[in-house]
Structures are given as C-alpha cells and as structure tokens.
Chain A
Amino acid sequence: MEYDAVLLNVVDCAVNAIAIVLGKTPRLSSEGVLLVERLENREDLVINMGMCNAKWQGILTFGSSREDLALLIQDPSQNMALDALGEVLNTAAGMIAGMEDCRKYFGELYQSTPVILEGGTFYPKAHGAQADILLEDSSIRFGFSMRATGG
C-alpha cells in the first residue's frame, strides 16, 4: 500500500475517534484531506502526540478553538475541553497504531505523552495529511505526518 493511501486511512481513524469519544457524526470539510509537506495547526487549544520507532518518527495533532470545543462538549471550562481533546487523541492514536495498513508500512509505533499547546506550534517538515473535521457548527483540525529517521 502506498504511503498516501495509509494517510487517508489514518484520517478515517481520526474521524471515527471523534465520533466515538464525542458521540457526534463528524464529516470532512469541503476541502477534504490535504496532503501537506508540513502540518499546520494554530488553533487555540492543540494536543500533540509523538508516534515513533527506530525507523520512523511522526506526530499526531488535534486542535480546535475554545468556542468550538465549549459548544461540542457543552461545558465552558478549558480543562474539560482539553480532557475531551485528549481522549480523542488517545483513541485515535490507539486506532492508528493498531491499524493493519499502518503496522505493515511503519511497523509498531510507540506513543509519547500528549503535549498541550495554546495556539499551536511550528511543525517539522514531514509529509502528512491534514483535515478539518466538522461537527454541527464546530470544527476540529487534525494532522498526522511521518518521516523516516534514516535509522
């Protein structure tokens, strides 16, 4: 399977994780899945997780605005919003790491501790997939990129 096909399946995992954790029916924005050379996630609240092994290092990111998260989880507190986003991230990471295509392409991936960022960050150059996932009137930015370590 080609790398870009694996990336599309990874986006499916993200959509399913959002559906499971938030109990909503998500859909991709009209832009669909963007294949990018560097992820971009400058949302108010962002959670990143590293996924790596000896040959590959990658990043998984979810982010959203405070307002959108408050609407989605029907709770205005930032802690609750971050916990919700954290559960989406954990669920997606588990699904991605367990996905057969992903295991065949990358091998077993190990997850790092999630890192919370306000306003996002500048991501390393690496080929990946990015998508805005819509739920009712809210939006969640998702991204996943991977690069070979050369190891």
Chain B
Amino acid sequence: MTVRVVIVDDSSFLIKQIQEFFEGSMGFHVVAVGRDGREAVELWKNCHPDLITMDLTMPKMDGKAAIAEIMKLSPEAHILVISAVKGSSMLECMKLGAKGFVEKPLKFGDALFVEDFRKSVQECLGTDQEK
C-alpha cells in the first residue's frame, strides 16, 4: 500500500524538494501540503496521512503547538520534524510524540544525507514501507 504523506513547511521551495524526494525516491503519495501549524492540524483531521512532516518555525501556529494538537487527536500519529531548530526544542518535540527528526539544511545532493533521511522516514513509520 502506498504511504500517504502530508508535508508542512512555510517554504514552498522546501515543500517542492521534499515532495520530489518522497514521490521520486520513496514511491510515497503526497496527499496535501500546508504552510503553518494551523493548516497542519486541519490537514491531519481531513487527510489522516500515514506520515506528516513538520517544520517548527512557522507563522500562525508553530510546529511544536501543532504536534501537541495532533497528538491529542491521534496519539498514534507518525510525525517527522524537519527543522533547523536543534537542542531543547527537538527534545521537546520528541517528548510531545514526534517520532523522528531531520535537521535542515536539506542536502538532497549529498548521498549520505539522502540515506540518513530515508532511514529517519522509515524509523518514523516504524516499519520499512518503502516501495
């Protein structure tokens, strides 16, 4: 079964890169994209994806607040944080229930980074769902 993904990031440039990676390299289906935390929560309610990627620094509602909301709705949610924010914020996201973390910048031209990204996605899903 194809993995259904929602991508949330306030940069349409990064959304495009992440979407190309998921659809081109992993065979996933990106069902929707969002630009802020509020959209993330709405998209979660409407789409119930297998995986949602979450930026942290975003307008309207930040990623951390969106993770908390989504985990209240669906404690089983698979949330992968993709952010340049590190340290305590990353740990707080994991405590809130995020299942993985990928650090920006996204180096899709770097084979090692791509392999690590792929592993993080698979670990986040809890199983090897790549096609």
- A: residues with CB less than 8 A from B are 17, 19-21, 23, 73, 75, 79-80, 83-84, 86-87, 90-91, 94
State whether B13 touches A20 (Cβ < 8 A).
no
| Distance in angstroms between the alpha carbons of A90 and B14 in the assembled complex | 12
The interface residues of chain B lying within 8 Å CB-to-CB of A79 are 12
State whether B11 touches A20 (Cβ < 8 A).
no
| Distance in angstroms between the alpha carbons of A80 and B12 in the assembled complex | 6
| Distance in angstroms between the alpha carbons of A90 and B109 in the assembled complex | 18
Q: A43 CB to closest chain B CB, in angstroms?
A: 18
Majority secondary structure of chain B interface residues (helix, strand, loop or mixed) = loop
Q: A21 CB to closest chain B CB, in angstroms?
A: 6
State whether A87 touches B14 (Cβ < 8 A).
yes
The count of A-to-B residue pairs whose CB atoms sit within 8 angstroms is 34
- Pull 18 A–B residue pairs with CB atoms less than 8 Å apart, ordered by A: A20-B105, A20-B109, A20-B110, A23-B108, A23-B109, A73-B13, A75-B16, A80-B12, A80-B13, A83-B11, A83-B12, A83-B13, A83-B14, A84-B13, A86-B13, A87-B14, A90-B84, A91-B84
Q: How many residues of B contact A (CB 8 A)?
A: 12
State whether A87 touches B108 (Cβ < 8 A).
no
Contact with A along B108-121 (1 / 0, CB 8 A): 11100000000000
Contact with A along B14-52 (1 / 0, CB 8 A): 101000000000000000000000000000000000000
What residue in chain B is nearest A21 (Cβ atoms)? B105
| Distance in angstroms between the alpha carbons of A101 and B84 in the assembled complex | 21
| Distance in angstroms between the alpha carbons of A17 and B12 in the assembled complex | 18
Q: Pick the 8 closest A-B CB pairs, nearest first.
A: A83-B13, A23-B109, A84-B13, A83-B11, A91-B105, A83-B12, A20-B105, A20-B107
What residue in chain B is nearest A85 (Cβ atoms)? B13
- B: residues with CB less than 8 A from A are 11-14, 16, 84, 104-105, 107-110
| Distance in angstroms between the alpha carbons of A83 and B107 in the assembled complex | 16
What residue in chain B is nearest A93 (Cβ atoms)? B84
Question: A23-B109, A90-B105 provided; 4 other pairs, C-beta below 8 A?
Answer: A83-B13, A87-B105, A91-B105, A94-B84
| Distance in angstroms between the alpha carbons of A86 and B84 in the assembled complex | 13
| Distance in angstroms between the alpha carbons of A21 and B104 in the assembled complex | 10
